[in-house]
Amino acid sequence: MKNIEDIMSKKVITAESNTKVEEAAKLLEKYKIGSLIITEGKNTVGIVTERDITYRYVAKQKDNVKKEAQLKDIMSSPLITMSLDNNPNVMDAIVTMHKHKIKRICITKKGKLIGVLAELDLFKDLAESYVNNLKKMIKRL
């Protein structure tokens, strides 16, 4: 099995917590991603996904939600992270994600954010090896 660093996405897009929701939506579109890591200065404080924007901003537009809502108003916080310092494996990551009922986990190394691991990335990696194994089997036949 591959290790976390090989599978995780190293393309981490961050936004300050006082960014407007509309600006965040632009970032999601521009970078073709589903979530943004929210920062306050040097600290990572939360995460905003397409779902957060839909459920907590668009669906609330008639309940006097501020038109100028900022990411800190809709983000999921705190950010669940996992450190690579103790050499966790992919299984540890899956267990942690399910414990917290999340689909993405932030990966840190020596206190620095270095990537995001999505359940989907894990799955794609497994599906890939599954297909490769099938191909090998077919060749042997």
Partner 1 sequence: MPNLINRFKHNINKEVFLLTDIEEAMTKKISIINPDASVFESAKKLEKNKSSCLIVMEKDKIKGIVTERDIVCKCIAKKRDTTDEKKLKVRDIMSSPLITLSLDDTKNVMDAIVRMNKYQIKKLGITKNGKLVGILCEEFLSGFCLGIKNKS
Q: What is the binding site for partner 1 (CB under 8 A)?
A: 1, 21-22, 25-26, 28-29, 34, 50-51, 53-55, 57-59, 61-62, 91, 94-95, 98-99, 103, 119-120, 122-124, 126-127, 130-131
Q: How far is the CB of 33 from partner 1 (least distance, A)?
A: 10
- Which of 106, 122 has the CB closer to partner 1? 122
- Which of 78, 95 has the CB closer to partner 1? 95
Q: How far is the CB of 110 from partner 1 (least distance, A)?
A: 28
Q: How far is the CB of 129 from partner 1 (least distance, A)?
A: 9
Q: What per-residue string of b and e applies to 69-93 under the rule 16 or more CB within 10 Å gives b?
A: bbbbbbbbeebbebebeeebebeeb
Which residue, among 85, 89, 88, 116, has the nearest Cα to 2 in the 3D structure? 89
Instruction: Report phi then psi at 36, rounded to 5.
Output: -125, 140
Structure token digits, residue 137:
């089997």
- Which of 106, 118 has the CB closer to partner 1? 118
Q: How far is the CB of 123 from partner 1 (least distance, A)?
A: 3
User: How many CB atoms are closer than 10 A to CB 4?
Assistant: 20
| CB distance 10 to 84 below 8 Å | no
Which of the 8 DSSP states describes residue 22? H
- Which of 109, 120 has the CB closer to partner 1? 120
